[in-house]
Chains A and B, each alone.
Chain A
Amino acid sequence: MSNAIEAKGKSIVCFEIVVHKDDMKKIEKETVRFAKNTKIFNTRPVIIKPDSGAENLVPIVTENLKKFGFHLIGCQIKQQHSESVSKTEKREITAVHKTIRSGQSYEIDGDMVLFGNLNSGAEIKATGNIVILGSNSGIVHAGADGDESAVIFSMKLLSPQIRIADKVARAPRENRVETEPEIAFLSSSTIIVQSYNDWLIRNEKLNLGI
């Protein structure tokens, strides 16, 4: 039996949920069943990956997952079908599955999700949001084209410096031992770093393009 909705690449840090093309009713039913079955994982960030042709089912899935407390951080849509999806509704995410090492740098148009570590001496620049699911010891610049609403999510934030739009924040001098997921955002022209959970409470609705 093939499921219309399944978890893929279920790592310690993040869920990728694949949505296959199917009818709405079945998707809704399966999402609820899926959410119930995997409820223990609902503190993990979730990325939704619809098959091509299944993009229209994403809202039903997200709606139902949110009811069960899942933290949706984005939606990854297959490149070749991007024209069929309105840009304002669903922003594209570049997913990178590797360790980014000292001396390496990435420049991304749109949002970026890194399934790996950003090591010390490495750099990421994105015009949109940056999500780092490994530990983050590099230099990150979100909203590189000036988007002040861009955020930086890190499972483990150890960066010496983070940038959002044209603002720069340096890490405090003392060694950070933070192991809680954190998010950095701009608020009245100042970069604020906050625990992800606290931030979620403040913003029930994530404005990451879903």
Chain B
Amino acid sequence: MGKIYTITSGKGGVGKSTTTANLALGMAIAGKKVVAIDLDIGLRNLDMILGLENRIVYNIIDLLEGRAKLNSALIRDKRGDNLKLLAASQTNSKEDLSKEKFLDLLNLLKEQFDFVFIDSPAGIETGFSNAFAGAEGVIIVATPEISSIRDADRVVGILEANGKHNISLIVNRIKPEMVKKGEMMSQDDILQILAIDLLGIVPDDPKMIEYTNKGEPAVLDKISVTANAYINITRRLMGEDVPQLELKPKSFLRKLFERL
């Protein structure tokens, strides 16, 4: 039986889709059978981050409404067989998704895949509640900003009220230099407020735009700190005990190195 994780945040634009793409691909590289579901109906972009937008023929609404078979709706990753994408529909709205049919689909996918990752839309409305309804685990993505933390806190409260207690946190876009100078909240500050388990931290990576534009998620750039951060998280999700990354402010030498 596979495990279903929903990636959510409350606040928009904090990196849910980027995280979903990297965790799904990272898991696939590690040999697991994975499906990534874009549930941001109307604002799809998981396909773009994964570089698969030109392969979409059918989307999740087509599948749930019976216009497509499961096999034709599951888009094969260009890098291998392990990862499949179930794309969002761009022309529908969040209300067009039937929750019952979606939950049935998740039960089916659980039998065929090791991991199901659901990319949730921002907000706390229908789209969000559909996204977490069938999940065993919920991963909250938050950036070190007050507004993001407060929205994450709100989301954790709603999840707990709905009986979801396997909730963990990814702190995204940490800038070690700023944390060191006390200009940015540290992961400890954030954990103190949110009082949930830390799944991992991901540094702010200026190359992220480049990765997205190319459709090649950061996790493929194996030597980067960011790829390592994602790989560590996937290993934790597979049950390994991996120590948290120690993000250090870049030394002059490293900066020089990277320019070469």
Which A residues form the contact surface with B (CB < 8 A)? 99, 101-104, 116-117, 119-121, 135
Known contacts A119-B150, A120-B193; 18 additional CB pairs below 8 A are A99-B195, A101-B153, A101-B154, A102-B153, A102-B154, A103-B157, A116-B195, A117-B192, A117-B195, A119-B153, A119-B193, A120-B146, A120-B150, A120-B153, A121-B150, A121-B153, A121-B154, A135-B192
Q: How far is the CB of B130 from chain A (nearest CB, A)?
A: 19
Verify A102–B157 contact, CB threshold 8 A.
Answer: yes
B227 within 8 Å of A by Cβ?
no
Residues of chain B with a CB closer than 8 A to A120's CB: 146, 150, 153, 193
Q: What's the Cα separation between A120 and B156 when bound, in Å?
A: 13
Which of the four size classes fits the interface of chain B? 10 to 19
B158 within 8 Å of A by Cβ?
yes
Are A103 and B158 also in contact (CB < 8 A) when A120-B150, A120-B153, A121-B153 are? yes
Write the chain A residue with the least CB distance to B10. A102
Q: What's the Cα separation between A104 and B151 when bound, in Å?
A: 12
Q: What's the Cα separation between A117 and B191 when bound, in Å?
A: 12
Verify B157–A104 contact, CB threshold 8 A.
Answer: yes
Q: How far is the CB of A69 from chain B (nearest CB, A)?
A: 29
Q: What's the Cα separation between A117 and B192 when bound, in Å?
A: 9
Write the chain B residue with the least CB distance to A104. B157
Q: What's the Cα separation between A135 and B192 when bound, in Å?
A: 9
Q: What's the Cα separation between A101 and B153 when bound, in Å?
A: 6
When each residue 133-164 of chain B gets 1 if its CB lies under 8 Å from chain A and 0 otherwise, what string results?
00000000000001000110110111010000
Q: How far is the CB of B162 from chain A (nearest CB, A)?
A: 13
Query: Which of B63-100 touch A at CB < 8 Å?
Result: none
Write the chain A residue with the least CB distance to B149. A120
With beta carbons under 8 angstroms apart, the residue of A103, A104, A117 that contacts B193 is A117
List 12 interface pairs A-B (beta carbons < 8 Å), by A numbering.
A101-B154, A102-B153, A102-B157, A103-B157, A103-B158, A117-B192, A117-B193, A119-B153, A120-B146, A121-B150, A121-B154, A135-B192
Query: Which of B176-213 touch A at CB < 8 Å?
Result: 192-195
Residues of chain A with a CB closer than 8 A to B195's CB: 99, 116-117
Write the chain A residue with the least CB distance to B146. A120
Q: What's the Cα separation between A70 and B157 when bound, in Å?
A: 35
Q: How far is the CB of A155 from chain B (nearest CB, A)?
A: 13
Residues of chain B with a CB closer than 8 A to A121's CB: 150, 153-154
Residues of chain B with a CB closer than 8 A to A103's CB: 153-154, 157-158
Q: How far is the CB of A195 from chain B (nearest CB, A)?
A: 22
Q: What's the Cα separation between A116 and B150 when bound, in Å?
A: 16
Q: How far is the CB of B215 from chain A (nearest CB, A)?
A: 36
Residues of chain A with a CB closer than 8 A to B157's CB: 101-104
Q: What's the Cα separation between A117 and B189 when bound, in Å?
A: 13
Residues of chain B with a CB closer than 8 A to A135's CB: 192
Write the chain B residue with the least CB distance to A99. B195
Q: What's the Cα separation between A117 and B153 when bound, in Å?
A: 12
Q: What's the Cα separation between A124 and B151 when bound, in Å?
A: 19
Q: How far is the CB of A157 from chain B (nearest CB, A)?
A: 15
Residues of chain A with a CB closer than 8 A to B146's CB: 120
Residues of chain A with a CB closer than 8 A to B156's CB: 101
Residues of chain B with a CB closer than 8 A to A102's CB: 150-151, 153-154, 157
When each residue 16-60 of chain B gets 1 if its CB lies under 8 Å from chain A and 0 otherwise, what string results?
000000000000000000000000000000000000000000000
